[in-house]
Structure 1
Amino acid sequence: MSDHATTVDSRPRRIGRSIVAVLIGFVTVVVLSLGTDQVLHVLDVYPPWGQAMHDPALNLLALSYRIVYTVLGNYLTAKFAPHSPMRHVWVLGFIGLFFGTAGAIATIPMNMGPAWYPIAIALTALPCSWLGGLLYRRQQTPR
């Protein structure tokens, strides 16, 4: 057995730090998304909470900043991961896919807006996760 294999195998995994890294990313996405939503509701850009929002431009606006926040959240998850940053990013990505899919299933029948919006939220979870991890990895690569 090589020294490298022994070193890698003997390293503790630090599950608590892994959970914290994923939580940092998740909370970042949720807080920034809901915070921006609230500001846009207060400014009367969005209709009041609980009312349907069928305007495609407003849904595209919401999708746009959620994409940016999801990339940022995954970047932070990679940054705070104690090891294997991309593995942590994929965990957060699948959590996002799960919640996005559940949200689409729950909200589409409610007719609160166009059906494409919650579907797009679910479908962008994994690509945004990958991009956040990639941006972190590129920053770490010496030039």
Structure 2
Amino acid sequence: MNTTLKSIGAVLAGLIFIVISHTGTDAILESVGVLPKGHLNVGPALILLVIFYRTVFSIAGCYITARLAPSKPMKHALILGSIGVLLSAAGAIATANMQLGPAWYAWSLVAISLPAAWLGGKLHQAKD
């Protein structure tokens, strides 16, 4: 398989992990009653919990991307982080008037995307 396809696969693997882990954890916490279904009109402590686990899963996803990258693992992790910035910003903009939760929550996901990607890449580098 050529390097370009391996690079795309590495980024997709990390992205798929992040999407599944975020939505899966959301669903589990909603089903047990920790989070309300479909919105985050809750106190700051629960919102910080969501930000925390999403950050941890994002770091792990970027680590996976770096681990699978055929070369330049940090660059691959940061590409995934950039995708996270774009998708999170699009989500924040699209849901701005929907009253799903405080605006700072949506924009915090934008803000953590690149630092989480960098940390995931750094964790991979530290392993070597």
Q: Alpha carbons of 1:88 and 1:136: their partners in 2 closer, same or farther (altered >3 Å)?
A: same
How many Å separate the matches in 1 of 2:67 and 2:48? 29
How many Å separate the matches in 2 of 1:44 and 1:94? 33
Is the counterpart of residue 47 in structure 1 residue 53 in structure 2? no
Amino acid paired to 2:41: M
Q: Which residue in the other structure is 1:132 paired with?
A: 120
1:63 is aligned, of 47, 51, 55, to 51
How many Å separate the matches in 2 of 1:29 and 1:138? 21
Amino acid paired to 2:9: V
Structure 2 length-normalised TM: 0.95
Q: Which residue in the other structure is 2:61 paired with?
A: 73
Larger Rg: 1
Query: What are the superposed Cα offsets for residues 44-71 of structure 1, whole Å, 9 maximum, x if unpaired?
Result: 111123x452321111111000000000
* Percent sequence identity over aligned pairs: 41
Q: Which runs of 5+ in 2 are unaligned?
A: none
How many Å separate the matches in 2 of 1:134 and 1:128? 10
More relative contact order in 1 or in 2 (CA 8 Å, sep 6+)?
2
Could you list the runs of 4 or more consecutive aligned residues of structure 1 that deviate by over 3 angstroms after TM superposition?
Answer: none
Give the length in aligned residue pairs: 128
> Does structure 2 conserve the Cα–Cα contact (< 8 Å) formed by 1:78 and 1:133?
yes
Aligned-CA RMSD value: 1.4
Q: Which residue in the other structure is 2:73 paired with?
A: 85
